[in-house]
Chain A
Amino acid sequence: MTKKDVIIIGAGPVGLFAVHQLGIKGLNAVVIDNLDKAGGQCIELYPDKPIYDIPGIPECTGEELTNKLLEQIKPFKTEFFLNERVEEVQQKSDNWFVKTNNKNEFIAPNLIIAGGVGSFEPRKLTLKDTEKFEGKSIFYSVKNKDEFKNKNISIFGGGDSALDWALELSKFSKINLIHRRDEFRGAPHTLSEIKKLEKDGKLTIKTPCQLESVEGDKSLKSITIKFEDGKIEKINTDIILSFFGLIMKLGPIAEWGLNMNKKNIKVNSENFETNKKGIFAVGDICTYPGKLKLILSGFHEVALASVECFKRARPNEKYRFEFTTSSKTIQDRLGKK
């Protein structure tokens, strides 16, 4: 079990800046996120879209902002636990005990929830029996492509993931690429490669159509698709790969006894503490009168929350407000000489 001053759930922009605000106050933190990389919505939903309302930065993309924030918190050498979701939160006297789905355990007097709209999960197929085949014949990501050799694979989706995997897996499997409309969205090079494979008979494209049903007993045997004009077709299929993006699920957060308003956690706007002492909520997931779901609001929220975190983590020390421009202590912590 790792003991820290603060446990941060969520590695989005606000979670990352929390590391900074805690770090300059001399507090150490650990960051846990369900995604495989830092950045949250910035990196997952709009890595290439410009953001125009970060103070002092006229224009930057979600990816650029994430990279800048990571650079800004580098001096604090914070440990990240990615691909991990917090499953359990328990009070242990004045501390919060946290356990992830990967069985990692942490304890700290402060827990900051910077969880956005919840954890990202693949959007799943919801037809009858699709759940039964999940992980055996139906997949939402490719972890080990060797498992997809010499099979009949039906790939659903029209974006980058669907196209990239269609290309890759067509090297050693029979691919059906199925999409609800004729237009695919991907890099021009990828699109022309796909067209070429189709011409050479190495890949079949089915559009505009959607999945109607899946058939099979223990393992998947075939699928039925329905075209826009009502025509039905059965396709021999061993494996379905479905790429319909990610959805955000609040998940276990709803069960931690926090005062909620729909999918948001109620906080006071003085230090962004929830109804539980030592648990804070910041960024898109928190709500209070006048709340705006802006990145810049989240930055303000963590600055204030970090002060209360200090008081809880260092009860015997007096908190002193300091400026980064003039504080030698802060400059030391930032590694500036």
Chain B
Amino acid sequence: MFCILALFLYILIYIGMAKITYKDQQGNSKTIEVENGLSVMEGAIQNDIPGIDADCGGSMACATCHVYVEEKWLVKLPKAEDGEVDMIDMAFEPKKNSRLSCQLIVSDELDGLQVTTPEKQS
């Protein structure tokens, strides 16, 4: 028991994980511990979160990992670069709080981040 607890603490403190919540348009949500350094897109793909396709594999070339970011988190994220904003133009139903999840890198600061996947990606 102690071992498990210690291991859990180790993971939390040394590897660094952040809780990311993925919501869909129907209101279903799933919260995953994603390792720091991975992208929000990779967190979704590795954990079989539906609604994120990531066809181009994270090279900012397809807009199929498009998500809506909760307003309060939007300001905490590094600003989207031009290439990302141009790609979002192509996304399905882009909004002001649209981001490409492949460009959102998980860190301690993003612990608790909530993103919503669009109705579809293409």
Contact = CB atoms under 8 A, between A and B. Distances in A.
Interface in A97-130: 117, 123, 126
Contacts of A244: 89-90
B57 interface: yes
Interface in A207-246: 210, 228, 244-245
B91 to A, nearest CB: 8
B56 A181 contact: no
A247 B56 contact: no
A117 B89 contact: no
B59 interface: yes
B55 interface: yes
Interface string B62-81: 11100000000000000000
Contacts of A117: 55-56
Interface string A171-184: 00000000111010
Nearest to B61: A45
B57 A245 contact: no
Nearest to B98: A180
Contacts of A179: 89
Interface size class of A (residues with CB under 8 A): 20 to 34
Task: Determine which residue in A126, A228, A245 has the highest number of CB atoms from chain B within 10 A of its CB, and name it.
Answer: A245
A263 B90 CA distance: 21
B108 interface: no
A46 B89 contact: no
Interface residues of B, number: 19
A117 B96 CA distance: 28
A247 B122 contact: yes
A263 to B, nearest CB: 8
Nearest to A248: B55
A180 B90 contact: no
B94 interface: yes
Interface in B21-61: 55-57, 59, 61
Contacts of B85: 181, 183
A270 to B, nearest CB: 24
A284 interface: yes
